[in-house]
Structure 1
Amino acid sequence: MEEAIELDSRYKTLKEEFSVPTFGSFGIPGDADTKTTYLCGNSLGLMPLAIRRAINDELDAWGERAVDSHFRHPGLDDGKTNWMDIDLPVIPLIKDIVGAQEDEVAIMGSLTANLNALMVAFYKPQGKRTKILFEKGSFPSDYYAIFNQLRLNSLDPQTDMIQMEPRKGEYTLRTQDIISQIESHSETLALVLLPGIQYYTGQLFDIEVITRVAKSHGIIIGWDLAHAVGNVPLKLHDWGVDFAVWCSYKYLNSGPGAISGIFVHSSHGTNEEDKYMPRLAGWWGNNASTRFKMMEFFDPIQGALGFRQSNPSVIDVVSVHASLKLFQEYGGIGKLREKSVALTRYLETLLKDSPYFNNTEYGFKILTPDDPEDRGAQLSLLFFPRTTDSTPGIMDDIHQFMTHRGVICDERRPDVIRIAPVPLYNTFQDVFHAVEVLNSAFDTKSPKSS
């Protein structure tokens, strides 16, 4: 524990800015006021305390001026924004997190709705180029979106989906294998769609290199950055990514199901030639100066804002805004990444010191890559014995033991637990305690102790 305390003295934490569940609020026996050790930000980030204030301010505006708050917000003198433009102050904050120009990002929709919308705009099968390359084992929502985009274009998912999977005996995809797939299918690929970070293994893909290879063959490439935004530094503009989508409820800590975001590279839709590219459209993507003239003429805003369809949820947007201010307060995504690498490395070191590490009879192994450049803030642990058709594995028991002792992380059935120390609010002492509890779980559940 001494090392954890010393490491915590080196790195800033904003834990006091977040609402951390307690044993009492979580329904765990013990001292009701004791805070849990929350290591589940890769699934749902903790609530910033500022969000409650931000939402209440907008509820007050609704109560005081109702519809007039769209144009005459009662809090203008205190820095509030008219609802007509409520999402615009978020743009300068999010652009730095994803490495974009201001005209390349928009706050809108939900993750999969945005993915579908951008696939409608960017997936244009023509001639031999009809196929979509993605990973086997991708998040199911991505699979469903790809499957049905093919069907909407009267194509056969059985022949036009190309799925990659790790080599036999491996858990993650090698960058060279992805490149080889792109190159071998370069004449038939219309789209490459990959996750920035694989949700199950925690692998961080080499977005820059993979994007460069796809673009060299004239292939459109998009990224699902649900687990990457707010987790690792990104340079979407410089890397030449065509489009990307993300959610804001994981590392961006904006609340369950909160409004999401998109990136559209400035090479698309920001010049007169591309301005009218076909897309799913609505009035919030139309020229703001003529929006309320109700004209039957679509004059899209240039850039990502032109892909918006409906006016955004005010409550959602101010939640994102309040959360992103904490990134700014910390010093930006680069500073957070420095701490994140140290936190995750410390977690890895403690796990590898466990007597149960790499024990495939009774123990666990780490699925996530060893190299910090190939991962974010998450380590995925595979537990043994594993689940079979006839017998349950050990993972459920281990997860339940940890939860009942206030260590909150998530499970991915049948045999994986994901542990994610988030640098904004997790500490090295959190990590030390979590591994202590994990080892105790094995000690208690061991066949030798029964």
Structure 2
Amino acid sequence: MQFQNTLAFARQMDTSDKLKEYRSEFHFPKVNGNEVIYFAGNSLGLQPKRSPSYVDAVMDDWASLAVEGHFHAKKPWWDYHERLSVPLAKIVGAKPQEVSVMNTLTVNLHLLMVSFYRPNGKRYKIICEEKAFPSDQYMLQSQLKFHGLDPKEALVEIQKRPGEHFWRTEDVVEMINKTGEELALVLIGGVNYYNGQVFNMKAITLAGRSVGAYVGWDLAHAAGNVSLELHDWDVDFAAWCSYKYLNSGPGNASGIFVNERYLNKDDIPRFEGWWGTKKETRFLMKSEFEPIATADAWHLSNPSILSLAPFLASLELFEEAGMPALVEKRNKITGYLEFVLRAIAKEVSGNFEIITPVDRGCQLSVLFHGEGKSLFKYLKNNGVIADWREPNVIRLAPAPLYCSFEDMYRFGQILKAGIVGKG
């Protein structure tokens, strides 16, 4: 397709967009009375307009039924979380029994590491990417310290090559093979938060498991953004937040994946709680833990229904749209944004570069040389909500459920005006 940096072309693309109606399903903030161009779905997705009705239904049941809502609400609370498993399984490429929703992301990664990081003898090292998201760094370092290990020696960080902004799959595989029998766990962010790179999760998982290590993925920036096949890739475990591309609301519940080979086992090490025991015997108050035969066995406490309600509302949108259609539009709209950026760079001699490689989702990270935060502030004041990362990167994430091609064109014109105004 031959892109054009014109308003007419952008509107033509929107007219033919099969997902264009979903834009009206979301609330947009406004600046100067106009809806913003929203590029921050990789930090917090917009609110679906149907979310309040889902929350209101829970509140109404609480008011009219009180404790009886656990079993007699229209969507009973005691199994409310199970309604999220089927749509989530489609998004991450899993079987429904391999998926559950509980807690928040870093909490879940810690809980999963109880099961999947078991240092033993010479097999104790963890591989991650350099400068992983800080919460992952803190989590991994604290797990190593908990086991009496020195992170400086036990945590192996995959480096980028000098002068490059991305990781190479062959370098990751080489480090996995080099670490070999010392490797206990590979845990990497499936989509890097900073540069937007999508790692080759299939190849890395195969390499990690081939040397006898567990392989897990932090899918915070991947779930709802890229095609995932966790079951077919033979991933051991994964976790993701739901408030970015999945639009569930600020700080909302996390999803987990546990490969079916670890399900229905009472001898796997894990922290256990009431909500992970079998439903059939849960209310018998037995002293012995009997794991439910799904990923729900990793639950500790009953989930927060008020958190799950808006999550369920958003997943309904994903069910309607379907991940294949979302990925198709993601590729087009991100490609168009890249085209617009390069066109503007030629027009105004913009001193910036896209550091996101071709293996990407819907995020483009743009390195602005010498621009500083003043340009970012200009964009914000003119209705562009993006994300700043030190020292000088602006992250742009055109989420396909609610971003339009006209947004991409309009952003280019605002960016151009901001650069020219600084010249």
- Per the TM superposition, whether the score is higher than 0.5 is yes
SS at match of 2:368: strand
State whether structure 2 residue 60 is matched by structure 1 residue 60: yes
Match of 2:24, as an amino acid?
A: E
**Greater relative contact order, per chain length (Cα 8 Å cut-off, separation 6+):** 2
Give the match for residue 157 of structure 1.
151
- Does the CA contact (< 8 Å) of 1:357 and 1:365 recur in 2? no
* Mapping 1:372-411, distance limit 5 Å: 374-385=359-370, 394-411=371-388
1:243 aligns with 2:237: yes
Q: What residue in structure 1 maps to residue 3 of structure 2?
A: none
SS in 2 for 1:186: helix
**What is the alpha-carbon distance in structure 2 between the residues aligned to residue 328 and residue 291 of structure 1?**
31
| Counterpart position of 2:320 | 329
1:220-259 aligned at under 5 Å gives the runs 220-259=214-253
8 Å Cα contact 1:244/1:262 also seen in 2: yes
Native 8 Å contact 1:268 1:303 kept in 2: no
Q: 2:25 aligns with which of 17, 37, 43?
A: 17
Amino acid in structure 2 at the alignment position of 1:43? S
Counterpart in the other structure of 1:37: 37
Indicate the residue corresponding to 1:210 in structure 2.
Answer: 204
* Contact 2:126-2:184 within 8 A present in 1 as well: yes
Once the 2 structures are TM-superposed, how far is the Cα of residue 51 of structure 1 from its aligned partner?
0.5
**Counterpart check, 1:118 vs 2:112:** yes
Residue 87 (str. 1) matches residue 81 (str. 2): yes
Aligned-partner Cα distance in 1 for 2:263–2:121: 24
Q: Which residue number corresponds to residue 366 of structure 1?
A: 354
Could you tell me which runs of 5 or more consecutive residues in structure 1 were left unpaired when the two chains were aligned: 24-29, 386-393
Give the C-alpha shift of residue 377 in structure 1: 0.4
1:416-447 Cα deviation digits (max 9, x unpaired): 1000000000010011111211111111112x
Mapped partners of 2:96, 2:348: distance in 1? 46
User: What is the aligned partner in structure 2 of residue 219 from structure 1?
Assistant: 213
Q: Say whether 1:421 aligns with 2:374.
A: no
Question: Match of 1:423, SS?
Answer: coil
Q: Tell me, yes or no, if the aligned pair for 2:181 and 2:212 is still in contact at 8 Å.
A: no
| AA of the residue aligned to 2:161 | R
CA deviations 1:388-407 (Å, max 9, x no partner) are xxxxxx23111100010101
Q: TM-score, normalised by structure 2?
A: 0.96
1:296 alignment counterpart: 287
Q: Give the 3-state SS of the residue equivalent to 1:236 in structure 2.
A: coil
Match of 2:341 among 347, 351, 354: 351
Give 1:275 shift.
3.3
Q: How many residues align?
A: 415
What secondary structure is seen at the aligned counterpart in 2 of 1:163?
strand
SS of the counterpart of 1:354?
helix
Structure 1 position 286 matched with structure 2 position 277: yes
Q: Distance in 2 between matches of 1:158 and 1:327?
A: 42
Distance 2:261 2:418 in 1: 53
**Equivalent residues of 1:72, 1:82 under 8 A apart:** yes
C-alpha displacement of 1:314: 0.4
Gaps of 5+ in 2: 1-6
Runs of 4+, deviation exceeding 2 Å: 355-359
Local SS of the residue matching 1:106:
strand
Within the candidate set 265, 277, 293, 2:268 is matched to 277
SS of structure 1 residue aligned to 2:52: helix
Letter in 1 for 2:422: K
- SS of 1:239's equivalent in the other structure is coil
Conserved 8 A contact 1:357-1:364: no
Assess if the C-alpha contact under 8 Å between 2:42 and 2:244 holds in 1.
Answer: yes
Deviation at 1:3, TM superposition (A): 1.2
Q: Give 1:355 deviation, angstroms.
A: 2.9
Alpha-carbon offset, residue 303 of structure 1? 2.6
CA distance in 2: counterparts of 1:439 and 1:284, whole angstroms: 54
The AA in structure 1 aligned to 2:366 is L
SS in 1 for 2:72: coil
Question: Which residues of 2 match residues 133-212 of structure 1 at below 5 A?
Answer: 133-212=127-206
Deviation string 1:313-339 (CA, Å, 9 cap, x unpaired) is 101111111001101111x11110000
1: CA distance, partners of 2:334 / 2:294: 37
Give the secondary structure class of the aligned counterpart of 1:223. strand
User: In structure 1, the residue corresponding to 2:141 is in which secondary structure?
Assistant: helix
Query: Secondary structure of 2:388's partner?
Result: strand
Counterpart of 2:389?
412
Q: Which residue of 1 aligns with 2:70?
A: 70
Matching residue within 405, 410, 418 for 1:433: 410
**SS at 1:418's partner residue?**
strand
Give the partner amino acid of 2:320.
E
Q: CA RMSD in A?
A: 1.2
- CA distance, structure 2, for counterparts of residue 350 and residue 421 of structure 1: 13
